[in-house]
Amino acid sequence: MQYTEIMIRYGELSTKGKNRKDFINRLASNVQKVLHDFPDLKIQTHHDRMHILLDGTPFEPVNDRLKLVFGIQTYSPVIKTEKSLEAIEKTALELMQATYKAGMTFKVNTRRSDHKFIYDTNQLNQMVADYLYNHMEGLQAEMKHPDMVLLLEIRQDGAYISNQLLHGAGGMPVGTAGKAVMMLSGGIDSPVASYLAMKRGVNIEMVHFFSPPYTSEKALAKAKELTSILAKYSGRINFIEVPFAEIQETIKEKLPEGYLMTVQRRFMLRLADIIREKRHALAIFNGESVGQVASQTLESMAAINDVTTTPVLRPVATMDKTEIIAKAEEIGTFDLSIQPFEDCCTIFAPPRPKTKPKIDKAREYESRLDVDGLIERALAGVKVTPVYPGQSFLDDLAEEDADLL
């Protein structure tokens, strides 16, 4: 018994016309990207379904990738057969024999988009179930909560039979909502915010501030590796690193301690915004959660956000830390996020940052600095690296260390 294809049901496809076409085309191209190393697969798109023809490729390894792709509501591995009762019954029996375990309950559930087919859904449910009873021992039917549903779909071009209805990642295909930059640290929150942004169809590029020699190569590799985990949901993500040490040193030297954090954050946001514009992106995302720490009170957000009118979106703004952690575990970033490589903010964090900074004061202190020069020099050190799904960066570093010994 071998599945012949995968039938995909689209996600939140309330839109019509051109948007619908964009959704479907984008989904097809995202699916193609994550499955690029399976040469025998063929993707076909229709207005209400997408099909991946397996042509001998086993379902499981394809499924491991497919389940992460946004824009898929549900999907099923199916066997396609001719639209005759005999062929349907024979295939249904094969599939049941291969997957039904003793003691399970089951039912047959038919859908029909070909309304001219000689049998209606009730008749088909009944006839196929009867056929299975006559050819298998010990079957138990259960209409309300069966352990397994044999799905039968009668479409124009054939009959499709499956034993599985799987939940996809939901959301919208990455790219349908346009492009944004994501401020990615090495912490727990910003990877979760990245995931949530991508889930709404946003194509993100990571902006990461690092401060050599105060932060190690490991901190940078960690942020890249977090990006490679997130790239499993979207395909390649560009990683943009921005040197931040000179700005931090200058602020620390020249400004009162209570405003170190606020002014540092204002610089980060300014730089992120300039990079956003250069990269033709429309918005900035970050991992702030209201009230979590001093820099994330509403007063702080207002004082920091003062430097731009670009939308700054905060997907985890209203989530509790425990909820963010649960999500981080689910998406596979948590274990890496809690690795203790200090990032630039930990090192230059003032012991007593103001929880209610004033916008006027932040502006006034900042005006004592050569803002343009600092920004210009940081931008001169920007480096863009494409990061691919599952690529490793920390391991490579460990190997380099070993070579040096």
Binding site for Mg ion (CB under 5 A): 185, 187
CB of 386 to Mg ion, least distance (A): 24
CB of 264 to ligand ATP, least distance (A): 9
3-state secondary structure of 153: strand
Residues 90-149 close enough to bind ligand ATP by CB under 6 A: none
Q: Which residue has the tokens 């990455």?
A: 174
Nearest CA-CA partner of 113 in 52, 159, 164? 159
Looking at the Cβ atoms of 119 and 341, the one nearer to Mg ion is: 341
Looking at the Cβ atoms of 184 and 303, the one nearer to ligand ATP is: 184
Strand partners, 151: 109, 162
Structure tokens that stand for 157 in this block: 């071009």
Looking at the Cβ atoms of 160 and 267, the one nearer to ligand ATP is: 267
CB of 199 to ligand ATP, least distance (A): 17
Residue with the shortest CB distance to ligand ATP: 187
Strand partners, 160: 80, 153
Looking at the Cβ atoms of 246 and 342, the one nearer to Mg ion is: 342
Structure tokens that stand for 383 in this block: 């480096």
Among Mg ion, ligand ATP, none, partner that 224 touches (CB below 5 to 8 angstroms by kind): none
Residues 204-243 close enough to bind ligand ATP by CB under 6 A: 207-209
Q: Give the per-residue contact string, 337-366, with ligand ATP (x = CB under 6 A; - = no).
A: ------xxx---------------------
CB of 377 to ligand ATP, least distance (A): 17
Strand order in the sheet with 203-210: 312-313, 283-285, 179-183, 203-210, 237-243, 383-387
Contacts of 142 (CB under 8 A, 6+ apart): 105, 106, 107
Looking at the Cβ atoms of 41 and 188, the one nearer to ligand ATP is: 188
Q: CA 390, CA 233: separation in Å to the nearest integer?
A: 10
CB of 249 to Mg ion, least distance (A): 20
Among ligand ATP, Mg ion, none, partner that 3 touches (CB below 5 to 8 angstroms by kind): none
Residues 277-296 close enough to bind ligand ATP by CB under 6 A: 286-288, 292-293, 295
Looking at the Cβ atoms of 23 and 348, the one nearer to ligand ATP is: 348
CB of 219 to Mg ion, least distance (A): 11
Contacts of 349 (CB under 8 A, 6+ apart): 261
Is there a contact between 175 and 206 (Cβ–Cβ < 8 Å)?
no
Note if the bond before 212 is cis, omega within 30 degrees: no
Dihedral, CA of residue 321, residue 327, residue 333 and residue 337, to nearest 10: 0
CB of 185 to Mg ion, least distance (A): 4
CB of 69 to Mg ion, least distance (A): 29
Structure tokens that stand for 401 in this block: 């260390």
Q: Give the per-residue contact string, 293-332, with ligand ATP (x = CB under 6 A; - = no).
A: x-x-------------------------------------
Structure tokens that stand for 359 in this block: 């916008």
CB of 185 to ligand ATP, least distance (A): 3
Q: CA 204, CA 174: separation in Å to the nearest integer?
A: 9
Is there a contact between 345 and 265 (Cβ–Cβ < 8 Å)?
no
Q: Which stretch binds ligand ATP (CB under 6 A): 42-50, 54-62, 203-211, 367-375?
A: 203-211
Among Mg ion, ligand ATP, none, partner that 183 touches (CB below 5 to 8 angstroms by kind): ligand ATP
Q: CA 9, CA 71: separation in Å to the nearest integer?
A: 9
Q: Which residue has the tokens 């639209």?
A: 83
Residue 190 sits in the site that holds ligand ATP (CB under 6 A): yes
CB of 297 to ligand ATP, least distance (A): 11
Looking at the Cβ atoms of 71 and 187, the one nearer to Mg ion is: 187
Alpha carbons within 13 angstroms on the beta-carbon side of residue 398 total 5
Question: In this structure, are strands 283-285 and 237-243 parallel, antiparallel, or unpaired?
Answer: unpaired
Among ligand ATP, Mg ion, none, partner that 264 touches (CB below 5 to 8 angstroms by kind): none
Looking at the Cβ atoms of 4 and 295, the one nearer to ligand ATP is: 295
Beta strands in 164-308 (DSSP E): 166-170, 179-183, 203-210, 237-243, 283-285
Looking at the Cβ atoms of 5 and 225, the one nearer to Mg ion is: 225
Structure tokens that stand for 284 in this block: 């900035």
Is there a contact between 202 and 179 (Cβ–Cβ < 8 Å)?
yes
- Positions in the binding site for ligand ATP (CB under 6 A): 183-185, 187-190, 207-209, 286-288, 292-293, 295, 343-345
